Amino acid sequence: MTNKKVLKKGNHVIGAAAIEAGCEFYAGYPITPQNELTEYMAKHMVLNKRPFVQAESEVSAINMVFGASAAGARAMTSSSSPGISLKQEGISYIAGANLPCVIVNMVRGGPGLGNIAGAQSDYFQATRGGGHGDYRLIVLGPNSVQELYDYTMKSFDLADKYRIPVMILGDGYLGQMMESLTLHKYAKPKNLPKKTWALTGCKGRNPNVIKTLYLTPEDALEKHNLELNVKYEKIKKELQLFETINVQNAELVIVAYGTVSRVVKNVIESSDKKIGLFRPISLWPFPENALRNLKCKKFLVVEMSLGQMVEDVKLSLFGTDASVDLIARPGGMIPTEEEIHKKIKLMLK
């Protein structure tokens, strides 16, 4: 592998990164705009002599990942919004069973079938768990093809470290676009815990049990929920990923993630005002401390959904006297530089 730049498609590099990071099992079902990822895995998992399954449905694919993960494999599935909705039951089981896996959602417009344009309208679903029961996923929101590559690798490590499903929350535009990036080797962290819990055949040891049914509230399920919560609190402390640009002494800080954060970068460059960008990379846990510690009084949230991440921004700033404004473009529309400039003008009048 060289350190030279190459031009690659977003969906393809997710697959390349997963294989490089030792993904041992992939199951998926086709849906636009993430098809090139399933296509890539169909070819390259097989070339690497690892199992690839085009399942008969999304429900089936996520449950195959459940099984592969329980057996100790690094497992991944991918889809786009309607398909991710179908996977929610399985994701809830995997979260409840304390199992690691990687789920890629290249978001498209919704609700229902919506359209096939890129969108950010699955933010609530991703960051609030998505399925039934009290649980969380680690959710990462890359904004470039390079980050799709880097964070796909990282997501396998995070999943194994915390025994939790990790979701890459991209969007159709990121998946479809090609961009220059630098490919690199995967380096497995040394301190990842051994999978002593995996169902690998119990000859010579006590059987491992992986389950999500805890019938009695008083001595079983509540205890299980609280144990899960200890994990979630630990992740909240240890993993708050973000990028800031020009936030020092900014008159106004724009909060944006993924594709739209790059439009905001253009706005910052061309604005004659002191505008900063706060870009959450971990969407759960939301980097609330870093956002709260900014001394700015005026925030503008720009998102490709009808006002979802803005709730996390308001929660983070709760109790401060900062004001929070919103530009929300749903349905696969990307907010334009012009409309952001216009809003800034209004806000800094």
The residues of the shown chain that bind other proteins, judged by CB under 8 A, are 4-7, 32-33, 115-117, 172-173, 176-180, 259, 262-263, 265-266, 269, 334, 336-338
> For other proteins, which is the closer residue by CB, 280 or 332?
332
> For other proteins, which is the closer residue by CB, 1 or 7?
7
Identify how many contiguous H helices and E strands the chain contains and give both numbers: 12, 14
Q: Is 175 helix (H, G, I), strand (E, B) or coil?
A: helix
- CB of residue 231 to other proteins, shortest distance in Å: 36
> For other proteins, which is the closer residue by CB, 88 or 336?
336
- CB of residue 32 to other proteins, shortest distance in Å: 8
Q: Write the CB contacts of 87 (distance below 8 Å, at least 6 apart in sequence).
A: 58, 59, 61, 62, 77, 79, 103
Q: 285 preceded by cis ω (within 30°)?
A: yes
> For other proteins, which is the closer residue by CB, 180 or 293?
180
- CB of residue 245 to other proteins, shortest distance in Å: 10
Please state, in angstroms and as integers, the Cα–Cα distance from residue 310 to each residue in 86, 305, 345, following that order.
Answer: 26, 10, 20
Calculate helix-pair angle for 222-238, 145-162, nearest 10 degrees. 140
Helix (H) or strand (E) holding 301: strand 298-303
As a whole number of angstroms, the distance between CA 43 and CA 250 comes to 48
> For other proteins, which is the closer residue by CB, 35 or 208?
35
Is-contact 105 126, C-beta < 8 A? yes
> For other proteins, which is the closer residue by CB, 136 or 265?
265
Closest to 159 (Cα-Cα) out of 134, 188, 185, 120: 188
- CB of residue 302 to other proteins, shortest distance in Å: 12
- CB of residue 271 to other proteins, shortest distance in Å: 12
As a whole number of angstroms, the distance between CA 348 and CA 300 comes to 11
- CB of residue 241 to other proteins, shortest distance in Å: 19
Is-contact 177 13, C-beta < 8 A? no
> For other proteins, which is the closer residue by CB, 74 or 265?
265
Q: 185: which 2 tokens?
A: 């080797």
- CB of residue 118 to other proteins, shortest distance in Å: 10
